[in-house]
Amino acid sequence: MTPPAEPWRAAIHRWLAQPAHVHLLGIGGIGMAGLARLLAARGQHVTGCDAATPRTLRWLQAQGIPATTGHDPAHLADAQWAIHSPAVPADHPEMLAAARLPLFRRGQVLPVLAEQWQTIAVAGTHGKTTTAAMITHILRHTGADPSWCIGGELAPDHAPAGIGTGPWLVIEADESDATLAHYAPAVALITNIEFDHMEHFTSPAHFTQCFRAYARQARHLVYCADDPAAAALGAEIGGLSYGLTPAADYRAENPQPTPAGTRATLRGTPLHIPIPGPHNLLNALGAIAAVSHCGIDLSAAAAALATFALPRRRFEQIAHARGIRIIADYAHHPAEIRALIAATRETGADRIWAIFQPHRYTRTRALGPDFPPAFDGITGLILLPVYAASEPPLPGGTAADLLKHLWRHNQYPAELAADLPAAAHAAAARWQPGDTVLVIGAGDVEQIAPHLQALLHATQ
């Protein structure tokens, strides 16, 4: 089933049917950078700008796409149409200038552009990037040569998007602003459905309805049978299931966690996932189920996954010295943090320090009581101010409010650091050989890495 016809969809089809100059506002965002690469591959003249200078700007420039730092209405002088990131304020002068052109959101353009391939779309509250990366890895290593556009930087060259010669495109389908309902892929994968993005959705039912529309419009549905909401949707619509539950079509048997990853058996085939955590075993099962619709057999998919490496900021070791490991992870929802702590334990870690930057005031307020138990098992927590992601502060949603929840939970010491350097010094004052330090969050907390590395290597 195709999505309902809407004027913006027809307009995007017209622009994509001819070479034209499209300008991307906020092109440095990883999703926008990937979209830029796909648009250039389909013959569009792509330019873009971003308020900051993230790594993606340098990557785009290396791909021959002019991407500049700073917003300016003059960037639009020759543009024929434009795409904007939600991170660009609506009242910014360049946004006001762009409004005089045909102007679209990324979540409108990517679903239409994806119609030019056989698309595998991965959706879900958690696990999208890793699962989509696994699918891409399998297809690349089995000769299918896919294109991809993923919200992460894939090994080995840290590219968020790529163009292959095969018919398949692997993408993440983002639910954050309800544009998930615009996709009609060949294969729709749902990892899980756990209420999030309270800045847009009014209730869990509203959130689930977005996934329902997406699932109904796909040719094939793949879903995690271990997740209650995804399983309910799969039972309603029909599809291929995966998980650890006995009812799953793709079920892992006898999973054995080890410091080097997880071993299991799938339909009699040995499976080795070289990354820790039961959530990553589920991601691998979903990827194998999805590529079965591409004609990739189980043994070939399992062999490919044995060489899989996580994208950047997914359990990424950023330093290891004096017996101390520092690992960065994008987790920002309580369920993701709980899975991260469990995965860290599987690697043999005993004492774990967490540096956490909450993401969005809306999420922090809505899920405040759920965060403290997600960290259970750590040695101590250093909390940073909330990364606003363009939101205004909300009563009940600040880091100080979250700290009160942590103190009431009272299972481990927790303190609030003023900024990244202060958090790094707080961690360095406590760590000792054998410890693991987790740098957790979806904002700019990764910029703490140089501070931690300098302190780790400093002469004592």
pLDDT digits (tens, 9 = 90+) for 9-19: 999 999 999 99
Looking at per-residue pLDDT, the higher value among 176 and 431 belongs to 431
Q: Which residues pair with 250 in a beta bridge?
A: 242
Q: Identify whether 446 is a catalytic site residue.
A: no
How many CB atoms sit inside 10 A of residue 67's CB? 24
pLDDT, residue 205, reads 84
pLDDT, residue 1, reads 57
Tell me the C-alpha distance between 283 and 273, whole Å: 10
pLDDT, residue 174, reads 83
pLDDT, residue 357, reads 97
pLDDT, residue 169, reads 98
**What are the start-end ranges of the H helices in 42-181?**
55-62, 93-98, 106-113, 128-141
pLDDT, residue 3, reads 65
Q: Which two tokens stand for residue 343?
A: 């995965």
Highest average pLDDT, of 254-268, 281-295, 383-397, comes from 281-295
Residue 64 has pLDDT above 70, yes or no: yes
Task: Please report where in the chains the tokens 């004096």 appear, as a residue.
Answer: 322
Q: Confidence class of residue 391 from pLDDT cuts 50, 70 and 90? A: confident
Mean pLDDT throughout 29-58? Answer: 92
Task: Please report where in the chains the tokens 């950047």 appear, as a residue.
Answer: 312
Tell me the C-alpha distance between 2 and 17, whole Å: 19
Domains, the chain, in order of start with CATH, read 19-105 (3.40.50.720), 117-305 (3.40.1190.10), 316-457 (3.90.190.20)
Asked if residue 189 lies in contact with residue 356, where contact means CB atoms within 8 angstroms, the answer is no
Tens-digit pLDDT profile for residues 417-448: 999 999 999 999 999 999 999 999 988 999 99
Asked if residue 365 lies in contact with residue 447, where contact means CB atoms within 8 angstroms, the answer is no
pLDDT, residue 2, reads 58
Looking at per-residue pLDDT, the higher value among 211 and 176 belongs to 211
Residue 199 has pLDDT above 80, yes or no: no
Percent with pLDDT over 70 in the chain: 98
Residue 460 has pLDDT above 60, yes or no: no
Q: Rounded to 5 degrees, what are φ and ψ at 243?
A: 150, -165
Percent with pLDDT over 90 in the chain: 79
* Cα three-residue angle 26-31-32, rounded to 5 degrees: 35
The packing angle between helices 298-305 and 128-141, to 10°, is 110
Mean pLDDT throughout 15-34? Answer: 94
Establish whether the linkage from the previous residue to 156 is cis, with ω within 30° of 0: yes
Q: Identify whether 130 is a catalytic site residue.
A: no
Mean pLDDT throughout 182-208? Answer: 85
Mean pLDDT throughout 121-139? Answer: 95
Tell me the C-alpha distance between 233 and 212, whole Å: 7
Tens-digit pLDDT profile for residues 231-262: 999 999 999 999 999 999 999 999 998 878 99
From 119, 129, 191, 344, the catalytic residue = 129
From 47, 94, 125, 128, the catalytic residue = 128
Mean pLDDT of the chain: 92
From 94, 172, 346, 446, the catalytic residue = 172
Q: Confidence class of residue 55 from pLDDT cuts 50, 70 and 90? A: confident
Residue 197 has pLDDT above 80, yes or no: no
Q: Identify whether 128 is a catalytic site residue.
A: yes
Mean pLDDT throughout 53-67? Answer: 91
Residue 46 has pLDDT above 80, yes or no: yes
Looking at per-residue pLDDT, the higher value among 53 and 328 belongs to 328
